[in-house]
Amino acid sequence: MLKLYNTLIRKIEEFKPINPTHVGIYTCGPTVYREVHIGNFRTYLFSDFLRRIIEYNGYKVTHVKNITDVGHMRYLEGAGHHHGPIDPIIEEALKKGKTPQEIANYYTRLFQKDEEKLNIKKADIYPKASEHVREMIEIIKILLKKGLAYETDGTIYFNVRKFKKYGRLSGNTLDKMDNLLKAVHVSLETDKKESIDFALWKKAERDRLMKWESPWGDGFPGWHIECSAMSIKYLGDTLDIHTGGEDLIFPHHEDEIAQSEGASGRKFVNYWLHGGYLLVDNQKMSRSKGNVYTISDLERKRFDPLAFRYLTMMTHYKQKMNFTFEALSAAQTSLNRLREEVKNWDNPKIGCAEYEQRFLDAINNDLNMPEAIAIVWDLVKSNYPTTAKAESLFRMDEVLGLGFKKYQISSFDNASDKNIKYQKEEIPQSIKEMIEKREVLRKRKRYHLADQLRNKMKKMGYNVIDTKKGVEIRKIKRKD
């Protein structure tokens, strides 16, 4: 039984999907105007573990992850708030002499490449906000018709006071107006009825680069409305699961609920899951401190991105995670050690039911990945035969996503000759002597002669593989 912590009810509860076999997940994706940092990737990794665990439990999953390429207005760090919020994609485009589309496409590709490096499964759909403006306008029209929104000179605001259930996710409810007022960003939009109201649609400045026609004149959508429009379009009025970082609970997700439920009259999301913050050296990441790291930063420091994936498993997804390079080094060492273990394992046969059950219990207990990793180590250190360890670990790896299978030598497929497979066999004395001779030649840097010997052994039916740990010999088996 899969149990998940639901932010909406602040409790762990049993997961019951709307459709008994098929689960829909919506994850708030990146705003694509610069490289995505490791704090965001921690959240995407958590969503990936969630998706894999749901699949491990036998469900099919449709995962939607949006690309925000318009409307996510931000206050630039250091610029001071008197400038008002800017659209960072347009800002970046103007700076680089590119179009906003070019900037968005470039960083979307980088994001997806980084996801691949982290072995995050591709979402089934990556809808772009700029391609769903029509759907957003439709929802805004309904909200206006229902009296939940109002227009002020080409800009549409959501009338928060009219949506009585407002604030249930974050606790910033209408009956605690002081809290709510404190939580909303102090805004320069003076044309609102109340400062707790938020924009659904904004009137475009005269020379704005990205704008669309609407019944209210040229403009562009707010950030929150895009997630309502795209999640409903691809997953229906009620979603099983919506994920994001905990910084999105308010106002982004609160406002998504108000818009979606306001328009559809139905419950928007059954399970809200939020990932905790990532700190660097116990401090908040910030560009002025220079501690905002990206995946390419980690690679430049010669880390395998999968070491970061491993590291995120060491902290429960809801907890604050403190990133340090010492911790990343330790994760890299652990990962390397597991890869070394796997290397000499025999081909998978019957797994270890005991460890597989413990693993399942851990992941189904609100994604307890730290415990799952501990169980992996128990399994690896156990006295079970390597055939059993291989069977169980490779199965667990469907959730871990660390790609262990390719480190097992006996599973290698020879790239040059598809008919050759390697297996552990008794090695005859004559071959052993040739191996030793070859090692001497290699030490004397007589590589040409060493290669000749290797070829000779190959002709005799033995393959020589050089690894970090030493030389591996495999008898070549011809497939019939």
Contact yes or no for 251/183 (Cβ under 8 A): yes
Among 28, 120, 140, 367, binds Zn ion (CB under 5 A): 28
> Of 28 and 137, which has the nearer Cβ to Zn ion?
28
Rounded distance, CA 121 to CA 65, Å?
11
Closest distance of CB 228 from Zn ion, Å = 9
Among 143, 227, 388, 393, binds Zn ion (CB under 5 A): 227
Segment interacting with Zn ion, rule: CB under 5 A, options 27-35, 90-98, 130-138, 205-213:
27-35
Rounded distance, CA 212 to CA 353, Å?
58
> Of 172 and 463, which has the nearer Cβ to Zn ion?
172
Segment interacting with Zn ion, rule: CB under 5 A, options 25-33, 259-267, 449-457, 465-473:
25-33
> Of 227 and 307, which has the nearer Cβ to Zn ion?
227
Closest distance of CB 172 from Zn ion, Å = 17
> Of 227 and 306, which has the nearer Cβ to Zn ion?
227
Segment interacting with Zn ion, rule: CB under 5 A, options 199-207, 219-227, 322-330, 365-373:
219-227
Strand order across the 149-152 sheet: 149-152, 155-158, 198-203, 219-221
> Of 31 and 392, which has the nearer Cβ to Zn ion?
31
Closest distance of CB 4 from Zn ion, Å = 19
> Of 227 and 280, which has the nearer Cβ to Zn ion?
227
Segment interacting with Zn ion, rule: CB under 5 A, options 223-231, 302-310, 323-331, 382-390:
223-231
The H-or-E segment that residue 203 falls in is strand 198-203
Closest distance of CB 115 from Zn ion, Å = 17
Report phi then psi at 238, rounded to 5.
-115, 125
> Of 198 and 310, which has the nearer Cβ to Zn ion?
198
Closest distance of CB 113 from Zn ion, Å = 22
> Of 255 and 366, which has the nearer Cβ to Zn ion?
255
Closest distance of CB 275 from Zn ion, Å = 13
Task: For residue 419, count other CB atoms closer than 10 A to its CB.
Answer: 11
Site string for Zn ion, 171-210 (x = CB under 5 A): ----------------------------------------
What is the distance in angstroms between the CA of the first residue and the CA of the last residue of the chain? 45
> Of 36 and 376, which has the nearer Cβ to Zn ion?
36
Report phi then psi at 368, rounded to 5.
-80, 80
Q: Write out the E strands in 15-99.
A: 22-27, 60-65
> Of 129 and 156, which has the nearer Cβ to Zn ion?
129
Q: How far is CA 373 from CA 225, 336, 397, 439, in A?
A: 38, 14, 10, 38
Segment interacting with Zn ion, rule: CB under 5 A, options 26-34, 193-201, 290-298, 339-347:
26-34
The candidate with the shortest Cα–Cα distance to 194, out of 162, 167, 240, is 162
Q: Write out the E strands in 89-177.
A: 149-152, 155-158
Segment interacting with Zn ion, rule: CB under 5 A, options 4-12, 112-120, 227-235, 405-413:
227-235
# residues contacting Zn ion (CB under 5 A): 2
Site string for Zn ion, 34-53 (x = CB under 5 A): --------------------
Segment interacting with Zn ion, rule: CB under 5 A, options 220-228, 359-367, 456-464, 469-477:
220-228
CA 224 to chain centre: 20
Residue 235 contacts Zn ion per CB under 5 A: no
Beta bridge partners of 12: 5
Closest distance of CB 472 from Zn ion, Å = 49
* Pairing between β-strand 420-423 and β-strand 470-478 as defined by DSSP bridges: antiparallel
Owner of token pair 């959730």: 399
> Of 228 and 410, which has the nearer Cβ to Zn ion?
228
Rounded distance, CA 470 to CA 343, Å?
12
Rounded distance, CA 163 to CA 257, Å?
10
* Burial degree of 290 (CB within 10 A; 0-12, 13-18, 19+): exposed
Residues 6+ apart with CB under 8 A from 349: 385, 387, 388, 390, 391
For residues 64-123, which are near Zn ion according to CB under 5 A? none
Rounded distance, CA 303 to CA 38, Å?
13
Segment interacting with Zn ion, rule: CB under 5 A, options 20-28, 209-217, 423-431, 452-460:
20-28
Rounded distance, CA 476 to CA 424, Å?
10
Residue 4 contacts Zn ion per CB under 5 A: no
Q: At what angle do helices 133-145 and 223-235 cross, to 10 degrees?
A: 100
Closest distance of CB 256 from Zn ion, Å = 6
Q: How far is CA 272 from CA 40, 136, 256, in A?
A: 17, 22, 12
Query: Encoding tokens for residue 167?
Result: 């604030």
Closest distance of CB 315 from Zn ion, Å = 24
Rounded distance, CA 67 to CA 39, Å?
17
> Of 111 and 355, which has the nearer Cβ to Zn ion?
111
Closest distance of CB 29 from Zn ion, Å = 8
Residues that bind Zn ion (CB under 5 A): 28, 227
